[in-house]
Amino acid sequence: MGRQEITSTLDSLKPAIDSVTDDNVKMIIKALLSIIYSQQEVIEAQQKTIEQQQHTIETQHLLIKELRKEIQDLKEKLNTNSSNSSKPPSGDLFKPHGQGNDKNKKDRKNKRKRGGQSGHTGVARSLLPTEEVDHIERHQPPEHCECGGSIDLAECYQRHQVHELPSIKMIVTEHQLFCGCCARCGREHRAELPSHVPTGMLGPYLLAFIATLTSDYKMSKRDVAKFLMDLYQFSICIATVKRAEETTSEALKVPVEAAKAHVKQESIVNCDETSHAQCGQKMWAWVAIANTVAVFMIVTNRSKKAAIALLGETFNGILGSDRYRAYGWVPAHRRQVCWAHLKRDFKKISEREGKSRRLGICLLGYTQRLFHAWHQLGDGVITRADFKEIMGPIRRKVERRIPSISKGIGLG
């Protein structure tokens, strides 16, 4: 009952109280009314305190909920590593669970001697057939034994082969162009280089060799010049190495364009991209891998436009990739998401709390079964038909666990 209601009730009782003739009774009634009024004030003050405390509790509850989410996000960010994200192993602040410290690993190892252990099957290089050997040297025993008797030669009891680098010398071909005059009219005629002879000082094999050293083997131009001098005693300047790269790049334009066109027509293509430093500038290296052809592309961005440039606007095959948004323009029914990426995503989910943890552990179980079947297929234990039969139920179970996946990219 509120203060107003109590006051109204007491006011309605006032005529009855005034009609009381006994002064002692009136005094007691007035004392009781005073107590009631004072208690009502205490109750109202306590009510306000309770309301304030309730508001504080609700505010703190919301704050705790936000802080718990923030802590969970920070823990997830701190625990992000190469095993549960696309982060490279070199960027791991801490070793993922189970990988431990290398020193601790060494301490846990059995104290065994170095080298092959007892019972270990030895591995040795097989000898080349005699017809594939470049040189044969026959070594014979001495003609006489220590006892003075002659030694009769028998068959070869052991073959021993030694591999050695050949003597390397640069092959230099000089092309001499002659001129002559017509004996009749006196007109001068000059010889011209054949079409297969380069106009520069470097032959096609040497051009390709230099380009391979600077690209595949990541050698600097200065290191290439030093390498050629050390191995071939061939002096070359850095500018010539640069021109060799440019000449090789120009020669490769036609086959590269043919490879790009071929990939765009393939029925199954796997794509990926990664950061790439070029001349101190951050670039992006893209790759599209088909059945027999791989095409690399280095551009300044990681956008949808770059993916379209690599695959072509009319790409109509199946695309295998991660879930990066640049591939979102390919229809969902023609997307095959990479299971290695999914495994990392599922692992991150399993490291959360509550339902997310249970879901992640369950999805990791399905993933483990899939990879086990995949390895069996690679080892020839099961056929592709068997693999498809195993994959079907796994896919349906994953889609039931995560209904949104069935509306998005495929799981294989």
Q: How confident is the model over 123-140, as a mean pLDDT?
A: 90
Give me the helix-helix angle, 355-378 and 339-350, nearest 10°.
150
Sequence-ordered list of residues with C-beta below 8 angstroms from that of 42, at least 6 positions apart, any chain: none
Mean pLDDT computed over every residue of the chain: 86
pLDDT tops 50 at residue 117: yes
Of 11-25, 121-135, 345-359, the range with the lowest mean pLDDT is 11-25
Of 76-90, 125-139, 357-371, the range with the lowest mean pLDDT is 76-90
pLDDT tops 80 at residue 87: no
Looking at residue 380, its amino acid is G
pLDDT band at 69 (very low <50, low <70, confident <90, very high): confident
Of 30-34, 54-58, 237-241, the range with the lowest mean pLDDT is 30-34
Contact 298, 275 (CB under 8 A): no
Predicted confidence (pLDDT) per residue in 234-255, tens digit: 999 999 999 999 999 999 999 9
pLDDT band at 6 (very low <50, low <70, confident <90, very high): low
Q: What does the block give as tokens for 213?
A: 């050293």
Task: Say what the pLDDT of residue 190 is.
Answer: 94
Q: What does the block give as tokens for 104?
A: 């601790």
In 3D, which of 208, 181, 176, 204 has the Cα closest to residue 192? 176
> Structure pTM?
0.62
Looking at residue 403, its amino acid is P
Q: How many angstroms separate the CA atoms of 143 and 232, rounded?
A: 44
In 3D, which of 327, 367, 371 has the Cα closest to residue 348? 367
Task: Say what the pLDDT of residue 36 is.
Answer: 77
Task: Say what the pLDDT of residue 4 is.
Answer: 65
Looking at residue 96, its amino acid is P
Task: Say what the pLDDT of residue 123 is.
Answer: 76
The CA distances from residue 19 to 13, 26, 34, 111, 259, in Å, are: 10, 9, 19, 108, 113
pLDDT tops 50 at residue 159: yes
In 3D, which of 304, 337, 305, 332 has the Cα closest to residue 320? 337
- Residue 285, helix vs strand vs coil: strand
In 3D, which of 282, 202, 190, 277 has the Cα closest to residue 234? 202
- Going by the DSSP 8-state scheme, the letter that residue 132 receives in this structure is G
Q: How confident is the model over 74-81, as a mean pLDDT?
A: 82
Task: Say what the pLDDT of residue 119 is.
Answer: 74
- Going by the DSSP 8-state scheme, the letter that residue 206 receives in this structure is H
Predicted confidence (pLDDT) per residue in 264-316, tens digit: 999 999 999 999 888 889 999 999 999 999 999 999 999 999 999 999 999 99
Q: What percent of the chain has pLDDT over 90?
A: 55
Q: How confident is the model over 216-227, as a mean pLDDT?
A: 95
Burial class (CB in 10 A: 0-12, 13-18, 19+), 341: middle
Q: What does the block give as tokens for 393?
A: 């139920």
Q: How confident is the model over 103-132, as a mean pLDDT?
A: 74
pLDDT tops 50 at residue 406: no
**Phi and psi based region of residue 405 (left: phi greater than 0; alpha: psi -120 to 50; beta: remaining):** alpha
Q: How many angstroms separate the CA atoms of 44 and 367, rounded?
A: 62
DSSP alpha helix (H) spans, 79-185? 102-108
Give the DSSP letter string of 1-13.
--HHHHHHHHHHH
Burial class (CB in 10 A: 0-12, 13-18, 19+), 361: middle
273 forms beta bridges with 286
